Amino acid sequence: MAQHDAVEVISAKRDKAELSDSQIDWVIDAYTRGAVDDAQMSALAMAILLNGMDRREISRWTAAMIASGERMDFSRLSRRTADKHSTGGVGDKITLPLAPLVAACGVAVPQLSGRGLGHTGGTLDKLESIPGWRAALSNEEMMAQLEKVGAVICAAGDGLAPADKKLYALRDVTGTVEAIPLIASSIMSKKIAEGTGSLVLDVKVGTGAFMKHVDDARELAETMVGLGQDAGVHTVALLTDMSTPLGRSAGNAVEVAESVEVLAGGGPADVVELTLALAREMLAGAGVTDVDPADRLADGSAMDVWRQMVRAQDGDPEAPLPRARETHVVDAPASGTLTRLDAMAVGLASWRLGAGRARAGEAVQAGAGVVWHARPGDAVTAGQPLFSLHTDDPERFERALASLEGGYDIAADAASYQPEPLVIDRIS
């Protein structure tokens, strides 16, 4: 590997120059080893935030982060693989019904997930509300479960893209999280290292999403799709709305319960719509076009895979889910049509009730969260329950209620509500 020095690389990007392949390879390797310190990498990250990177630079940066660790290989499985990544939102429980549904259609789903930080719990937090379920699997256990069951949702090991783990923590405290080249390479380095054959990206946009504006979300989606293509991974992205929270619940156990409803052939229409849209993209990416995933929801086979998947990780799919000790109901203040339900307001309320964490490693409450009894477009009557708030700590209600203030609108005229599409665009 060619030798460079940190000041040379920082200065080049500060002056809006393109970084060479050897500069990128060197700086990622040196930072991972500790030869480039946090102060120097912070300066480089800020220069990237301000001056950007072209497609070649981002692709090389991603490849260098992948090369910093191990890469998984699913080629010995008896069926093709497909994976999905969501940029995160409120009530986004889609992975839970999606993985067993796609597996029921004949495609293996190796879903390496994380724990949430911020206004919602992560996929692992939700699943850990199931009695006995464990997130930590060895690579051998993961491969065996994929072959036998067809789906696994588990914690990512430390060996995948360790450079990204180190850089992500740095970006979080240096005001450089928003750099699209670094967001895209962070997500894609882990997903490509996971070794899946095809990838579907759910890029959220709206008040409850990381990307608030469609143009920014589209730029991120296009960048990530390009990175997947450059790495030889069939990749598509859907831009989906996150101004309104998904489904009717945000939390951990409450979202598991809603996911099971979907697998049983019911559940909220928007959760079913997005689950099926992503399933069809995953199946198409894996070359499976003769199966309609809606049929697998209807015939119970997706539910069968869910139960097998949970049991394989020591969980009890039949056990009652945890319930919070305290509940507070918010009644509708007026009659009319619910015309707006702000995703961020709901997400913050759920977080303040204990469903999310403010610092890495903090415990979350399995039963905490928010359930809403109406969605935009629904008629409501003054005095009817609008929200149910759940927590083990009743002193949390006051701040959660403050989060919901101004977070919804009820209009007397139903015609004032104009629904927005859930799937905004497709990037391929």
Going 273 to 279 to 285 to 290, the CA torsion angle's sign is: negative
Average pLDDT for the chain: 94
Higher pLDDT, 17 or 159: 17
The lowest-confidence range among 29-38, 111-120, 203-212, 257-266 is: 111-120
Query: For the chain, first and last CA: distance in Å?
Result: 34
pTM: 0.94
Dihedral of CA 362/366/371/376: which sign? positive
**Helices 139-148 + 301-312 axis angle, to 10:** 160
Domains annotated on the chain, with CATH: 6-52 (no CATH), 83-157+192-312 (3.40.1030.10), 326-416 (3.90.1170.30)
Indicate which residue of 4, 85, 93, 204 is catalytic. 85
Per-residue pLDDT band at 356 (split at 50, 70, 90): confident
Better pLDDT: 289 or 118: 289
Taking 70 as the threshold, does the pLDDT of residue 252 lie above it?
yes
Tokens standing for 53? 């990177």
Q: In a 3-state reduction of DSSP, which class is residue 389?
A: strand
Q: What is the pLDDT of residue 378?
A: 96
**What is the structure's pLDDT at 89?**
92
What percentage of the chain exceeds 70 in pLDDT? 99
Q: Among this protein's residues, is 85 annotated catalytic?
A: yes
14 is catalytic: no
Q: Pick 158 or 230 by higher pLDDT.
A: 230
Other CB atoms within 10 A of residue 416 CB? 12
**Active site includes 171?**
yes
234 is catalytic: no
Average pLDDT score over residue span 228-233: 94
> Which residues, including other chains, have CB under 8 Å from residue 347's CB and lie 6 or more apart?
89, 90, 119, 120, 208, 245, 250, 356
User: Catalytic: 75?
Assistant: no
pLDDT at site 118: 60
Angle of CA points 68, 69, 71, to nearest 5°: 125
Residue 119: its pLDDT value, please? 64
Residue 330 in this model has a pLDDT that exceeds 90: yes
Output the pLDDT for position 381: 97
Q: What percent of the chain has pLDDT over 90?
A: 87
115 pLDDT tier (thresholds 50, 70, 90) = confident
| Confidence tier at 189 by pLDDT (50, 70, 90) | very high
pLDDT at 105 over 90: yes
What pLDDT sits at residue 249?
Answer: 97
Report the pLDDT value the prediction gives residue 36, as an integer from 0 to 100: 95
Residue 24, C-beta contacts closer than 8 angstroms, at least 6 positions apart: 57, 60, 61, 64
pLDDT: is 60 or 416 the higher one? 60
> Which of 9-13, 350-354, 384-388, 414-418 is the least confident region?
414-418
Q: How confident is the model at residue 116 (pLDDT cuts 50, 70, 90)?
A: low
For residue range 19-60, what is the model confidence (pLDDT) as tens digits? 999 999 999 999 999 999 999 999 999 999 999 999 999 999
DSSP codes of every residue in 251-278: ESHHHHHHHHHHHTT-S-HHHHHHHHHH
The predicted model gives 363-367 an average pLDDT of 93
Q: Is the pLDDT of residue 396 over 90?
A: yes
> Among all chains, which residue has been given the structure tokens 């083990």?
392
Residue 372's DSSP bridge partners are 387
Predicted confidence at residue 42, as pLDDT, reads 96
In this structure, which amino acid lies at residue 413? D
Nearest to 150 by CA among 16, 22, 296: 296
Which member of 59, 86, 129, 186 is catalytic? 186
- Candidates 80, 171, 248, 352; catalytic one: 171
How does residue 172 score in pLDDT terms, banded at 50, 70 and 90? Answer: confident
- Using only the alpha carbons of the chain, give its radius of gyration: 22
Can you give the pLDDT at residue 416?
Answer: 81
The active-site residue, picked from 80, 190, 204, 352, is 190
Average pLDDT over residues 271-277: 98
- CA-nearest of 213, 209, 219, 215 to 181 is 219
pLDDT at 213: 95
Query: Catalytic: which of 83, 125, 164, 241?
Result: 164
